[in-house]
Structure 1
Amino acid sequence: MGTEASNKTEHISRKRLIREEGLMPLLEHLGELRKRLVYVLIALALGLVVGLVFAEPAYNFLMSQEPAKTISLHTFSLGDGIGMYMKFAFVIALILAVPVIAYQLWAFVKPALRENEQRSTLKYVPFALMMFLTGLAFSYFVVFPLAFNFTRTVSQQLNLEETYGIAQYFAFMFNLLIPISLLFELPLLIMFLTAIRLVNPKRLRKMRRLAYFIMVLIGVMITPADIISDVLVAIPLILLYEISVFLSGTVYKKQLAADARYEAEYGDSLNKA
């Protein structure tokens, strides 16, 4: 009986040790993730302070551009003005925080990367802001006028009196600008995931049909319900995916070449060991 009890106790202790050994890395990862999220929130908070300062100049600039300068904007509630002001501040904060978010993502996965992979992925961080601003420009100068003019044309065909609220106008604008700007990070994200060996061009090509469907679905969701707007948005998104596949291929070829050099240099010694 004593031997059985001792074996049972030892078995329970071993299971507890296994659980604890499996739990510690998970807790460490969660702690690291929490730290990175705190840094992102701090960056957003600091960006929001800057955004509150520059919200009015940004508002004045957009109001001086078409189509805003060709229409009259109204307020329908006491909170419209402050709501619009905070929207501008948040968008400015998001723009400023994009490089920080990209760096924190890199820092989170850094411990799992080899030294050469750490260097190769770190260089993507500065391009995060550039891609976001490119998406912002495309969505503002191409997609937004197209969507706005379409909705305005429909209202005129229905003989509706045009009365635009400032909160609704900018909500419509930012609901287009922010998703499209984030989608412009796709090539950079795919290159990063390829560099850390989570995806490769072969897998991306196999997913092409699904990716096209998702891109078209996004184009339909963020544009007015007409086929022209959907196509004009979906085509650039599909091109973004194809660019992502191409860039993934360039990264993947460099990885294969590096692996071949490593195998040629250290392969014999590793096999002997």
Structure 2
Amino acid sequence: MAKKVTKSADEMSFLDHLEELRWHLIRATVAVLIAAGIAFMAKGFIFDVILFGPKNADFITYDILCKAAQYLGLNESFCFDEIPFRIQSRTMAGQFSAHMWTAITAGFIIAFPYILYEFWRFISPALHEKERSASRGFIIISSILFFIGVLFGYYIVSPLSINFLGSYQVSEEVFNDIDLSSYMGLVRTSALASGLVFELPIIIFLLTKLGLATPESLKKYRKFALVGILIVSAVITPPDIASQVIVAIPVLILYEISIFISRLVLRKQLKEERENQLTKRD
């Protein structure tokens, strides 16, 4: 039986690259499905403890915000005994559908480091040895930022949204019976959106490497970025100023960190260029 010849990145055709990408996507998808299967079997813990946690008045976020409001003498809107709404399923497949999509979302979050690993395996052959060495922490740092973002979305964005929207009433005659898919969609979107937003430093790092972003351009468009961040905060949080500010602050910090990262990348690139020029002269 003939041995399969492994081609280098330079020898591979466009179709070869597509075939290689296909296998990376297949492996990443299998990892998500395996993690989703585990999450599917842990239904009780995921739903009762994690997803329905922000619905309970004793959730840790409400407790901390209540104590902070009392200490500062502010409006104690987070000090309450219950959030006045019930969750219901109004379709035959409503609960099963929520179970499936929640398992897939959990599978994606759990398998995220492996997805990044497959992405890295696909692009790394096209990088120089120095670039590969400099980017060794890519998977770890990206995963940490993503998980921090997911936790931020779960512990900050979700409770703020659930407390505001779940207790909001236009009249005492109207009681909030929230559909299961609507509730799950809010929690999932809050966690995933925050996780992806926290990847901002990595995105800026890659854009700087490609020459599409510089510290000067990031500073120049800081005002526009601020407006964009406030818009994103308004979209993923309830329409009150306090919630939007709480969400906007860490994103603004990430933007400033991204400027610093961009400056470091450019400084390193300029240093390498000078060393290469000196080497050529010698």
TM-score by length of 1: 0.77
Q: 1:153 to 1:58 in 2, by over 3 A?
A: closer
Mean Cα deviation higher: 189-198 or 236-245: 189-198
Distance 2:206 2:44 in 1: 36
Partner of 1:41: 29
Query: What letter matches 1:88 in structure 2?
Result: T
Structure 1: runs of 5+ lacking an equivalent: 1-23
Mean Cα deviation higher: 26-35 or 238-247: 26-35
Q: 1:245 to 1:89 in 2, by over 3 A?
A: same
Structure 2: runs of 5+ lacking an equivalent: 1-11, 58-81
Q: Contact 1:187 / 1:244 at 8 angstroms: preserved in 2?
A: yes
Q: 1:44 to 1:232 in 2, by over 3 A?
A: same
Distance 1:177 1:211 in 2: 22
Query: What letter matches 1:53 in structure 2?
Result: M
Partner of 1:16: none
Question: Does 2:145 match 1:131?
Answer: yes
Partner of 1:61: 49
Mean Cα deviation higher: 61-70 or 247-256: 61-70
Question: Does 2:158 match 1:171?
Answer: no
1:16-62: CA deviations, max 9, x gaps?
xxxxxxxx844344333333322322222222222212333221212
Partner of 2:281: 268
Mean Cα deviation higher: 76-85 or 175-184: 76-85
Q: Contact 1:124 / 1:192 at 8 angstroms: preserved in 2?
A: no
Query: What letter matches 2:90 in structure 1?
Result: F
Q: Which has the larger radius of gyration?
A: 1
Any idea what SS the aligned residue of 1:122 has? coil
Any idea what SS the aligned residue of 1:158 has? coil
Q: Contact 1:56 / 1:85 at 8 angstroms: preserved in 2?
A: no
Question: Does 2:266 match 1:252?
Answer: yes
Partner of 1:88: 102
1:45-90: CA deviations, max 9, x gaps?
2222222123332212126634246454332222222122123211
Deviation at 1:179, TM superposition (A): 0.9
Aligned pairs for 1:151-170 within 5 A: 151-155=165-169, 157-159=170-172, 160-170=174-184
Q: 1:100 to 1:93 in 2, by over 3 A?
A: same
RMSD of equivalent CA atoms: 2.6
- Structure number with the bigger relative contact order (C-alpha 8 A, sep ≥ 6) is 2
Q: 1:25 to 1:95 in 2, by over 3 A?
A: same
Partner of 2:76: none
Partner of 2:88: 74
Question: Does 2:186 match 1:186?
Answer: no
Distance 1:213 1:31 in 2: 41
Distance 1:112 1:199 in 2: 21
Q: 1:252 to 1:185 in 2, by over 3 A?
A: same
Identical residues among aligned pairs (%): 28
Q: Contact 1:187 / 1:240 at 8 angstroms: preserved in 2?
A: yes
Any idea what SS the aligned residue of 1:57 has? helix
Question: Does 2:240 match 1:240?
Answer: no
Partner of 1:103: 117
Q: Contact 2:153 / 2:193 at 8 angstroms: preserved in 1?
A: no
How many correspondences in the alignment? 244
Any idea what SS the aligned residue of 2:144 has? helix
Q: Contact 2:157 / 2:236 at 8 angstroms: preserved in 1?
A: no
Q: Contact 2:24 / 2:118 at 8 angstroms: preserved in 1?
A: yes
Q: Contact 2:214 / 2:262 at 8 angstroms: preserved in 1?
A: yes
TM-score by length of 2: 0.75
Deviation at 1:93, TM superposition (A): 0.6
Deviation at 1:118, TM superposition (A): 0.8
Q: Contact 1:47 / 1:93 at 8 angstroms: preserved in 2?
A: yes
Q: Contact 1:74 / 1:166 at 8 angstroms: preserved in 2?
A: yes
Q: 1:55 to 1:121 in 2, by over 3 A?
A: farther
Distance 1:202 1:102 in 2: 29
Partner of 1:140: 154
